[in-house]
Structure formats: C-alpha cells, structure tokens
Amino acid sequence: MTDLATETRRPETIAVSYEPERQPVLTVRDLHVAFSRGGRKIHAVNGLSYTLRAGRTLAIIGESGSGKSVSVRALMGLLPPSATVRGSALLGDTELVGMGDRAMRRIRGNDISMIFQDPARSLNPTMSIGVQITEAIRTHSDLDKKAAADRAVELLKLVRLPAPERRYHEYPHQLSGGMRQRVMIAIALAANPKVLIADEATTALDVTTQAQIMELLADLQDRLGTAVIMISHDLGLAASYAHEVLVMYAGQAVEHAETNTLFRNVRMPYTKALLGAIPQLTTAPHSQLTVIGGHPPDLAALPSGCPFAPRCNRATEQCRLDKPPLDEHEPEHLYACWHPYLPGTEDEPVPVDEEALS
C-alpha cells in the first residue's frame, strides 16, 4: 500500500524539515480580498497568512472557489478594479499591498513571475518564441539585442527545450503543449525572480509531460534558489514536489504544515475530507481532490463561526458561534479547528450536534 507522503520524488529535500535559516522571501499577513459585484461584497480571501522561504515550494490546495488564484493574483496586482485588497504581503522589505501600477509592473516579471495554465493563450501567436523571450529579458535588464538573444537560447537550454537554437525561430503553434509550457517557464525565469507562482501550470498537460515539467521546476529551484508557490488540484503533485502544504477553505488557511506532516497527521476535518481516506489513499500520483458533500459557503454571507461547520460531521455549537483561529498547535503544524483529529481519536465521533448538520 502506498501513501502520498512516501511517494515524494524529492526525498532529500522533503526530509529536510523546517529550515528557519532560509530567508523569508515573501511574508503574507492577514491578506483580505473582496470584490464588489451587483451591490454584494464577495469575500474571496479572508485573513490569509503564510511565510515563503527561499528555495522552498509551498503548495496551496483547496476546492474550486476557495480563493487560491485570487490570493496569488493579489500579490502581483493582477486583480480587476472591482477588487479591494488589504493586509500585508512583504516581498523582502517591499510592501506589495497598495503598491501603485508602475512600481508593480517593475516587480512583476522581475521579482515575482507567474506561469499560467494555458501557455497557448499566454504566448503571442504572431511572434517567434525566441523574440518573445528576448523581449522579456530586455524588459528586465539593460542587455543589448544580441546579448539578450544569446541569453534566450541559454534559457531554452536551461528549460531543456530540444534543439533550442532551431526552436528559437519557431512560433508557438509549431510547439507541443509541453514545449510551450517550457517556453513559459523560460520567460518566467528571464529575470531570475525570487518567487515563481505556478497556478495549475501543468493541469492541461498529459501525465508524463506534467512530471517532466515538475522535475524541471524542482531542478531549477535547487539550482537557482527560487521560492515556488504551486497551486494544484493534483494531490500527488503537491505531495511529490512541495516542501509544505497550505489548505485553503473559504479564503482562509485552515491547515498548514510540512508536506510529510500534513499528509501523515491530518488534523482538520476539511483537510481530511479533501484528501479522502488518508492514510489509506492508494493511488498516489495524480490523485485528484475528492468531492466533498454540501456546498462551500456563500462568500457574500460568510458565517461568523467556522465556515466549514455546515458540512462538518464534528461540528458543535461552539463551531457555529466562534471561528477557530489558525494556531500552531503542534511544532510547525498549524490548523484552525475546535475538534481536530488528534492521535487515537481519528474514528471517534465528536459530540454529535444534529442541529449543525441540519
């Protein structure tokens, strides 16, 4: 029997537990994002906090609509004008929340880069890939055209695109999906960013190409020391490549720990539901999130207590009245729950509260 936590493809890095000596590159504190739509306020991100350290990969997982993409787009100033962002996101010493457009454009691509799910749409179909990478390099440096073109070929080699000198002159439609994703990574790395965000970056690719791209990212990260945020529906990928995992629900972090700790010692009922019957999960790689009964809360009318209470079989009156804080209940293991699954109590039903489930 396999379990996700033992299927890591980077055991040497995963085995290194919390490394406080690694410099924090991104410190997110109490981040809130709300959208105004049709006279309603949609609270998409509600007090999200985490610290990302150099050379580490943080996976953010959660159901559709839990605020994963909005939370990272907020860091890059990529939200529409209907969004209000508050809280703090420090990139080194630089505050990203409230930053003006011009300053943000300098940060974007330079210090933080993003790889999107759909490279076909992100690349310009009318320009050769070499020219696109060269332009990205020139935007972020003072290299002349020739030096930037040489650097572009180097980057294509770095992302292991076959025959880089020839491919340099090709257009996006001449490349496979996996090759286009490599080009996107090359563009994202053009300025050697401190933080690389991959939002479902490999979802559109077949399983083998997905694994190759993830191996590539892991290798580049080891060599360049880039910090990575990966957003994925694929638990196998998160378990294999992330050093730590943050679980989001209704725009909040509800559990956050080292990958091995989280997959072996699930505490929060939502995480447990999301991961399925851990530790009996047998299909490690490419396991998708399980479908959980009930619906996520209305983000325009969030309950005052635990947002998971209406779907939780451990919910009590306390859960419906008071929101549990995200605390470090165990070393480097944070969770927000009044009745966590503690060792020896996994199968014990917690005080039945029929009213909470009605």
Ligand X SMILES: Nc1ncnc2c1ncn2[C@@H]1O[C@H](COP(=O)(O)OP(=O)(O)OP(=O)(O)O)[C@@H](O)[C@H]1O
Which residues of this chain interact with ligand X, rule CB under 6 A? 35, 37, 42, 44, 62, 64-70, 80, 82, 299
H or E element at residue 140: none
DSSP-derived pairing of the beta strands 112-115 and 24-37: unpaired
Q: Are 35 and 4 in contact (CB under 8 A)?
A: no
Minimum distance, C-beta of residue 62 to Mg ion, in the bound complex (Å): 9
249 touches, from ligand X, ligand SF4, Mg ion, none (C-beta below 5 to 8 Å by class): none
Does 130 engage in binding with ligand SF4 (CB under 6 A)?
no
Chain centroid, CA 108 distance in Å: 17
Residues 6+ apart with CB under 8 A from 80: 35
Angle at 33 between CA 227 and CA 50, to 5 degrees: 35
Q: Which two tokens mark 16?
A: 């290194």
- Which of the ranges 32-40, 84-92, 213-221, 262-270 carries the binding residues for ligand SF4, by CB under 6 A? 262-270
Q: How far is CA 87 from CA 33, 71, 305, in A?
A: 9, 11, 21
End-to-end CA distance of the chain: 37
Query: What x-and-dash track marks residues 24-63 binding Mg ion by CB under 5 A?
Result: ----------------------------------------
245 touches, from ligand X, Mg ion, ligand SF4, none (C-beta below 5 to 8 Å by class): none
Distance CA(337)–CA(324), nearest Å, equals 5
Q: Are 338 and 318 in contact (CB under 8 A)?
A: yes
Query: What x-and-dash track marks residues 61-80 binding Mg ion by CB under 5 A?
Result: --------x-----------
Minimum distance, C-beta of residue 210 to Mg ion, in the bound complex (Å): 17
- Which of the ranges 59-67, 175-183, 255-263, 335-343 carries the binding residues for ligand SF4, by CB under 6 A? 335-343
Does 308 engage in binding with ligand SF4 (CB under 6 A)?
yes
Minimum distance, C-beta of residue 142 to ligand X, in the bound complex (Å): 36
Q: Are 216 and 189 in contact (CB under 8 A)?
A: no
Closer by beta carbon to Mg ion, 62 or else 130? 62
Does 324 engage in binding with ligand SF4 (CB under 6 A)?
yes
Chain centroid, CA 28 distance in Å: 13
Chain centroid, CA 141 distance in Å: 28
Residues 6+ apart with CB under 8 A from 261: 332, 333
- Which of the ranges 73-81, 89-97, 197-205, 264-272 carries the binding residues for ligand SF4, by CB under 6 A? 264-272
Minimum distance, C-beta of residue 337 to ligand SF4, in the bound complex (Å): 3
The residue from 269, 276, 296, 297 that contacts ligand SF4 (CB under 6 A) is 269
Binding site for ligand SF4 (CB under 6 A): 268-270, 306, 308-309, 312, 314-315, 319, 324, 337-339
